[in-house]
Amino acid sequence: MLARAKAVAQRLVVTAATTASLAGFAHAQSDTADVQALSAAYFGASTQTGRSDAFAEITRLAEDDNAARFVLGSAQFFAAIENLAQGLHRHGMRSGGTMVMLFRLPLPPNPDPEPLDYEAFRQLLETFHADLDLARATLSTVEPDVGFKIVSDMQQTRLNLTGAEVIPPEANLKAVALALRMLRGNAGEAQLVFAYDNADAIWLEGYANLLMAHLDFVLAHDFRRAFETTMHAAFPDADLPLAGYLVPEQEGGQDPWSDGRIFDLVALLHLIDFEVIAPERRAAVRTRLLDVIELSRANWAAIGAETDADREWLPGPQQGGSHPVEGVVVTAEAAEAWLEALDLFEAVLQGELLVPHFRLSTSRAAADIARNEGVGFGLDMRAFFERGDRFDLVLLLTGSALIPYARNGDVIDMEEWQQTRRALGRRGLFGSAVWFN
């Protein structure tokens, strides 16, 4: 409990310091008229040429303008998504029919896809990582004490998913977010217009770090066998090794049962036994997630300092109202519960708190440790990221692969954890993490 109190105290100091730094927010405003027009020109462009012209002008303004730096970082973030989508489309990725978010991008069919192999797929992910890192670096330069607002309509924000010169209006951010199941509630009918501000720059920087952490984990491992055995399900016409044998002549559209993709998913789960080939990248996942936690704290401090309530993407408790997408109100209790969850996540990543697993907590070793030392027995996530040499999903879930990372120490208090989850409301932990970041 003493360590817990210390963590909460540290969080309050950080929050207070960040809030104090925003005290002059209302007195230092960026002139956003020109930047707003360029933002609309870039994100709403109907051609790639028009988008490139707007990007060049935004880049020029970003040298001296805080709002332009936010728009530039946002443009780079969405360009990263576009570049990935275009690469996947180039190899004829089939959208939908899978639980993996990457493969739910609403890409049109490609009648003449290029061949794909393991090395080329890894390069697509490496490029996505580099593009996100560029956006992250730009967003980190947005000054928190020079205020701005940039208004954007998700339905008017187009994404060039194929690399064509003409960007169709139906390829908009709202449609993509719905396809990725990132929007819930009444999102289909809602007017999704938001006024983005300094807090949202921190939020987007955190999201770039979060995506990069996922990519670092994947790229730290050799997943060649899984790719060559199952990825014909997503790329049926990219000359993958087993496509001629396992892709049916008559495909089943979006139904994974009718064309056998469900069996490829089972095979993929069976083959998630990956050797670590870049241990430094696996270790980097932990540090990047720690960065996400710090950015989330800074984001909530910035939200707490806001005194308006203007079309907020992530409204604070003081701003009230039901979010047009989520259909929920962020209460003070939920915001405090999220900050407490961040404290817990940080303690886990630092190895100060261990993660319980029913095979470990009910073991003879756990009983002996409890009797002799009065502490628990659980999974050290710092050791998992820093010392791991394999990732075997089934053996991790069933317990045997946890042993190299198990030790005695303080284990997460599940009753306290459940209280935090309940305080987050009906969104729960995962839903809050997707939205709150």
SS (H, E, C) the chain: CHHHHHHHHHHHHHHHHHHHHCCCHHHCECCCHHHHHHHHHHHCCCEHHHHHHHHHHHHHHCCCCHHHHHHHHHHHHHHHHHHHHHHHHHCCCCCCCCCCHHHHCCCCCCCCCCCCCHHHHHHHHHHHHHHHHHHHHHHCCCCCCCECCEEEEHHHCECCCCCCCECCCCCEHHHHHHHCCCCCCCCCCCCCEEEECHHHHHHHHHHHHHHHHHHHHHHCEECHHHHHHHHHHCCCCCCCCCHHHHCCCCCCCCCCCCCCHHHHHHHHHHHCEEEECCHHHHHHHHHHHHHHHHHHHHHHHHHHHCCCCCCCCCCCHHHCCCCCCCCCCCCHHHHHHHHHHHHHHHHHHCCCCEECCHHHHCCHHHHHHHHHHCCEEEECHHHHHHHCCEEEHHHHHHCHHHHHHEEEECECCHHHHHHHHHHCHHHHHHHHHHHHC
Task: Please tell me the predicted confidence (pLDDT) of residue 178.
Answer: 81
Task: Return the exposure string of 138-169: e unless at least 16 CB atoms fall within 10 Å of the residue's CB, then b.
Answer: bbbebebebbbbbebbbbebbbbbbeeeebee
Task: Please tell me the predicted confidence (pLDDT) of residue 431.
Answer: 65
Task: Please tell me the predicted confidence (pLDDT) of residue 325.
Answer: 65
% of the chain at pLDDT higher than 90? 66
What is d(CA 324, CA 195) in angstroms, rounded to the nearest whole number?
A: 13
Task: Please tell me the predicted confidence (pLDDT) of residue 20.
Answer: 36
What is d(CA 178, CA 172) in angstroms, rounded to the nearest whole number?
A: 10
Residue 113 Cα distances to 65, 102, 334, 376, angstroms:
42, 18, 47, 54
Task: Please tell me the predicted confidence (pLDDT) of residue 24.
Answer: 36
Task: Please tell me the predicted confidence (pLDDT) of residue 426.
Answer: 60
Task: Please tell me the predicted confidence (pLDDT) of residue 221.
Answer: 98
Task: Please tell me the predicted confidence (pLDDT) of residue 106.
Answer: 86
Cβ atoms of 176 and 154 closer than 8 Å? no
Task: Please tell me the predicted confidence (pLDDT) of residue 252.
Answer: 56
**Quick one: tokens of 437?**
């970041």
Q: Which residues of the chain have pLDDT under 70?
A: 1-31, 96-103, 182-190, 251-259, 321-328, 425-434
